[in-house]
Chains A and B, each alone.
Chain A
């Protein structure tokens, strides 16, 4: 960690997250992946929305942007399209990304814009103290689901793949080596990359659903996660009630900002006598 300590704003630590919260572990994995790839701190922009997850950028020594609830990907799209040379990372939560932010999530994926999106999924709204979210499993409790939620949660990975993301993976705060590995590949992928990082919220989700401590929740991840490679050779009934971890989709596709750059170059060749500023408007649109 010591060589990755320099990626933190150490005077801002210790951070705000509760003892045993998985968000710190995930943030550490992201930082280690960045350190391993030796990315230039001055060319990284980390964008987040609102919620526990979204406090992460405040602790990281990059250009960091803490935006409005659900809108991190839209802000990030503006940054990436405006400056495609910057490495843009979005750190978001299950509520931030899939509830209020769902529309921006599917469109960013559809465009396959080169943004690395880490969704810290603790299946609850932690910052507002424990409401259920679009990722809360059926029957689980939340302060707004006192009798258990009757809504079916998203399969975030399938949604991302269906929307057009070119790299999708899932890992957990227990499987830290795998988590770091898939984050690294997500950072390297030239296109929209999603890593669903399953995270424990002992304070609300763990306590409300009587799962126990952070350690108990991590053991729950350990028992319920199956690596996608192993699952390929397992009998379906063995996968009952389990979730897949590892690389779930990796298919490169044209990247939005590169395609738009080609468009610009094509247009400029056609209008090569162009000086910019106040000019003849070729076509009077109406």
Chain B
């Protein structure tokens, strides 16, 4: 199922990108070129295979040797509820495009 120029518009909108006509054309061809080699993957039988969201999930038999894991793989590490971040507004906003009175400025947000 090849992508259409309509898909390009929809995805560009979702991704907050814009492509002029010639660029959009070339992109469409390139993406379809890529999805050609994806076809073989879609044909593979994967019933019952558990999706692997994290590499540590595959560290069979090692999870005992690694902390913060269980039989199924890595588990979320939790930190104590403690405040330790000082105010670093100046350093944090050093590379900000537009700041006024400590606020990041953007074109009016209409709700």
The finding on whether chains A and B are genuine partners in a shared complex, rather than unrelated, reads: no
Chain B interface (Cβ within 8 Å of chain A)? Answer: none
